[in-house]
Structure 1
Amino acid sequence: MKNLSLDDYKSIILRRDPHYDGRLYFGVTTTKIYCRPVCPARPKPENIVIYKSKSAAEKAGCRACLRCRPDLAPGNRFIQPGKDIVRRCLNLMDETFPEHKSIETLATTLGISARHLRRVFAEQLGASPGEILKTQKIHFAKHLLLETRESVSDIAFASGFTSIRRFNEAFKTAYRQTPSQIRTGKHSRQHKGDKIQLSLMILPPYDFTSILSFLKRHAAFGIEKVTDRYYERHVPQHNSYATFRVTINKKQDALLVDLQGFKLQQLSGLLITIGRLFDRDHNPDHLPVTSQGKHPGVRVPGCFDPFETAVSIILSQLVSIAQATGKLAALIQRFGSILDKKDVFRFPQPEQLMNAEIEKIGITRAKADAIRAIARLVHEQKIIFSYGADFARTRKQLLAIKGIGPWTTEIMMMRCFGDPDAFPENDLFIKRALAQHSVDENLWKTHRAYMTNYIWNQSRQNLSPGKKNG
């Protein structure tokens, strides 16, 4: 985000600029409430204080606004293009949430000193990694308190607190209410047995139709079911499985997630993964204004199981989508595990594929070798699927695998590592759009993964089962 004066920030607030939603927050000195830039509240300019993060606002003694709900709204993970340390660290924290990773451990993973990490966080977010994590825990607990009927103690532990006393103290500091008080008068959703429904706020517009269409075309046999209305996935649980289904509530600007068979302590990591699958943190106002006319709300589909997705991307090289999903189904049936009699499968693990005779499903030796190679590297933890990865280093690792070229690498970077600028420039539809000057690549710099999906969405009527992938 470019350097702005205090007057610039106040102007952003007064015009309710959605471009900055998730990038900054403002507090009101007279009420000690903090809000998103798009909040309908109209504070006097002289009473506005700017904060770089939710944690910074709460550290200053502000509580979340009940109108714009900044505590439950998504925050942008790409706060400043090129500021890689914060992006990587926030994503690493997400991937272990609600577990506490020391600042020394995070800094070592990032290859910097703990002192430098503290300085960068203070400069860009106005809060330390520990303060950011504490805020996330409190907000997640509030989410569960409002939308489930689980006990306060169970929610406290599921949110990463090790003591009820500390949870109550932290919650009361953030909200000026106890957990029980914030629940009073709120109608949490009814759920029976192990069924729960939770909502995930999104930033509109959101093109749910296109993301479902993409996931439907690439659905994994026995694992995913996708219709024009919902996405459903079976998740292995020991020798059984749990299921979640995602739909959209456009009136509330939220994804609705119906869960069955999950334990409460699984929900924090599960919701983060689902959020990535549906690109929940993205703010569509960060894209060129020309994208909003034909296909507003473009998102980049992520993945639930990155190894599964990486294998499916290799299988999709230079064949039709129908052929690719057919081979994926054959691989799942031959090497996966059946979880029940209804054709529900567990995707084969890296150790099962790294020495397997994958050619027997009817693919080339080159593809089979590439799958075995990436399976071995993942098993040996030489490649770790993480949104906190060093993108440049990861690209080199993938390109070094025989049978994995630039197109495959960029699709993996886009879907398995969350790189917003991943760009499969050799893709057939991308080449055609650029040749016809349908898009201006320069306008999409730092967000070319979104340009790619924007082009695919425009061309999706041509993405029939008989068409080849790029």
Structure 2
Amino acid sequence: MARDEERIWYAALKAKDARFDGHFFVGVASTGIYCRPICRAKLPKPENCTFYTTAAAAEQAGFRPCLLCRPERAPGTAPVDASVALVHRAKVLLEENCGSGLSLDQIADHLGCTGRHMRRVFSAAYHVTPVQYLQTCRLLLAKNLLTDTDLSVIDVAMAAGFGSLRRFNDLFKSQYRLAPTALRRQSSSAKSRDNAIVLALGYRPPYQWRQMLDFLAQRAIPGVETIIDGAYLRTVHLVGSEQQHVYGWVRVGHRPENNVLTVTVDSSLLPVLTQLLARIRHLFDLFCDPHAVYEVLGAMNAIRPDLCTLGTRLPGCFDPFEMAVRAVLGQQITVKAARTLAARLVATHGAPVATGIAGLTHAFPSPQHVITLDGPIDGHLGPLGITGARARTILELARAMAREEIDFTFGAEPEREMKKLLAIAGIGPWTAQYIAMRGMGWPDAFPETDFGVKKALAPRSAKEISALAETWRPWRSYATVNLWNSL
């Protein structure tokens, strides 16, 4: 590592600068522990510090995670360029599937490359093998569960993706020099209660939580999503590693004093916990570095004071099909009208979910449900007020998702996937850009024909808006959200 980079990272560590949280970890030779740059422990001497870009690299070097700053809570890193690198997509898939039992060859196949190629590029980028990275993801999730929940050790081992309790115990002791039960005894954290699991996911401050909740509240689908007491709640339907369908609910709150979102998970969702947490990170944009975004978009405030707010996040999605259908329903009508149509669709075709929470009654219909409806799709969706053209577009989207012909997931290659979307009748540039923005988490989408964008930048012409947006690259999605919020 270059000496100048080490000097910058040590300065960030000394300042406990949250903007660097998740960008690097520091191994301290005098303690054998590795920390986040925001750790409140006594500042180590420079000669005792070794810097790593991932927690996995620090662990492979022989360091164990700090019990004070808890590296498992560190936020991730966001892709900056429009075409997400293979290695980043591999990293995201490893994190999301660390508890699923999915093999590395299966992940490589999903990425469209060989397992050998994935291992080569991953090791070159992160200085650890995919197996080592996967192992660290599982260990850090297990550590989080041991510290913050009352789950049994065997439940923790299974949820984190270990095939057996013995292997979990051996690996945990080997890496952390501590038995899982000993770690639990040391923890003084409040534990989960009432048949639910409570975990914390870190972010880089500041975070405009109220803005995010307002955005989601305006678009919340009745029966599926709701906002209660400053928190976001929704139903969940996920498919486990053995193709079992799992239903439940999740609540996401905010703890600004700790720079974390609190995630309360129905215990029925334990078999799909890693999938669930990955989707929450995407929905609430926990990979974002707000200062990096604001460094480019702060110039928007020359157009109008406070047009761009530091800490604005890009609302992602929890269910790509749900969000894509919502985008189709929202074409050329108001947000409120689209919400009404989505509510009718859920009430008629959604799967009932017993949550015990007012306003959460159904999971959004799956692509498989839509494509198995008998007869013309117009006959099923037409009575709900959905036009025939939009009904047929929804059916084609469902077919594409069921066949895995289009990759809507976070980290997909947006230009390639948008071309596939535009080939579907009824999907134009606005819809494709919106799906790329929220479904794929693409930071540089720009729906220039959007009514809200044009209204926020009036009286500029379309040509002037397009030229102005070029100065906002690679964060045009964040610029769009700021423009919407300004209205």
Task: Establish whether TM, by shorter chain, passes 0.5.
Answer: yes
Q: Is the 8 A contact 1:314 1:371 kept in 2?
A: yes
For residue 346 of structure 2, what is the aligned residue in structure 1? 332
Corresponding residue for 2:303?
none
Contact between 1:90 and 1:388, CA under 8 Å: does it hold in 2?
no
Q: Corresponding residue for 2:318? A: 304
Corresponding residue number in structure 2 for 1:84: 85
Contact 1:51 1:126 in 2 (8 A): no
1:225: Cα distance to partner?
1.0
Take 2:346 and 2:82, find their aligned partners in 1: how far apart are those partners?
A: 38
Separation in structure 2 between the aligned mates of residue 240 and residue 273 of structure 1, nearest angstrom: 15
Match of 1:144 in 2: 145
Unaligned runs of 5+ in 2: 239-243, 299-305
Equivalent residue number for residue 251 of structure 1? 257
The equivalent residue for 1:276 is: 282
Indicate yes or no: 2:292 matched with 1:286.
yes
2:447 aligned partner, one-letter code? P
Shift of 1:55: 0.5
Summarize deviations over 1:6-27 as a string: whole Å, max 9, x none.
Answer: 2233223214454443222222
Letter in 1 for 2:275: G
Residue 374 of structure 1: which of 373, 384, 397 is its match?
397
1:6 is matched with: 3
Could you say if the C-alpha distance between residues 366 and 326 of structure 1 is closer, same or farther in structure 2, counting changes exceeding 3 Å?
same
Letter in 2 for 1:8: E
Q: Distance in 2 between matches of 1:66 and 1:190?
A: 16
Is residue 441 of structure 2 the alignment partner of residue 398 of structure 1?
no
Task: Tell me by how many angstroms 1:298 deviates.
Answer: 1.2
Q: 1:251 Cα shift? A: 1.2
Distance 1:375 1:33 in 2: 48
Deviation at 1:126, TM superposition (A): 1.1
Q: What does residue 363 of structure 2 align with?
A: 346
One-letter code aligned to 1:163: S
Match in the other structure for 2:481: 453
Counterpart mapping for 1:366-445 below 5 A: 366-433=389-456, 441-442=469-470, 444-445=472-473
Aligned-pair CA distance for 1:414: 1.6
- C-alpha contact 1:287 1:444 (8 A) present in aligned 2: no
Q: Between 236-245 and 390-399, report the one with greater CA deviation.
A: 236-245
1-structure distance, mates of 2:165, 2:283? 33
**Pair 228,406 (structure 1): closer, same or farther in 2 beyond 3 Å:** farther
Which shows bigger deviation, 313-322 or 267-276? 267-276
If the length of structure 1 is used for normalisation, what is the TM-score?
0.88
Residues 258, 102 of structure 1: alpha-carbon distance in 2 compared, 3 angstrom cutoff: closer
- Pick which of 390-399 and 345-354 moved more: 345-354
Contact 2:418 / 2:436 at 8 angstroms: preserved in 1? yes
Asked if structure 2 preserves the Cα contact closer than 8 Å seen for 1:89 and 1:388, the reply is no
1:189 corresponding residue in structure 2: 190
CA gap 1:350/1:106 in 2 versus in 1, 3 angstroms? closer
Instruction: Name the CA distance, whole Å, in 2 between partners of 1:27 and 1:126.
Output: 15
CA RMSD of aligned residues (A): 2.8
Post-superposition offset of 1:161: 0.9
User: Helix, strand or coil for the counterpart of 2:236?
Assistant: strand
1:400/1:209 Cα in 2 relative to 1: closer, same or farther (>3 Å)?
A: same
What's the TM-score once normalised by structure 2's chain length?
A: 0.85
Give runs of aligned pairs for residues 15-164 of structure 1, distance below 5 A.
Answer: 15-16=12-13, 17-40=17-40, 41-78=42-79, 84-164=85-165
Equivalent position amino acid for 2:441 in 1: G
Mark the runs of 5 or more structure 1 residues left unpaired by the alignment.
460-470
- Match of 1:347, as an amino acid? F
Q: Which amino acid counterpart does residue 458 of structure 1 have in structure 2? A: S
Q: Sort the Cα spacing of 1:101 and 1:79 in 2 relative to 1 into closer, same or farther, 3 A.
A: farther
Per-residue CA shift, 1:84-104, capped at 9, x if unaligned? 111211222234231344443
Amino acid at match of 2:484: W
CA contact (8 A) 2:18 2:205 kept: no
Q: 1:98 to 1:427 in 2, by over 3 A?
A: same
Q: Give the drift of 1:140.
A: 0.3
Change (3 A) 1:338 1:239: farther
Instruction: Summarize the Cα distance change of 1:79–1:66 in structure 2 as closer, same or farther, 3 Å threshold.
Output: farther
SS at match of 1:262: helix
CA deviation map 1:42-88 (0-9, x unaligned): 33333332212110111001122334322321221427775611121
State the distance in 2 between where 1:262 and 1:68 align. Answer: 29
Deviation at 1:324, TM superposition (A): 0.8
How many Å separate the matches in 2 of 1:243 and 1:443? 41
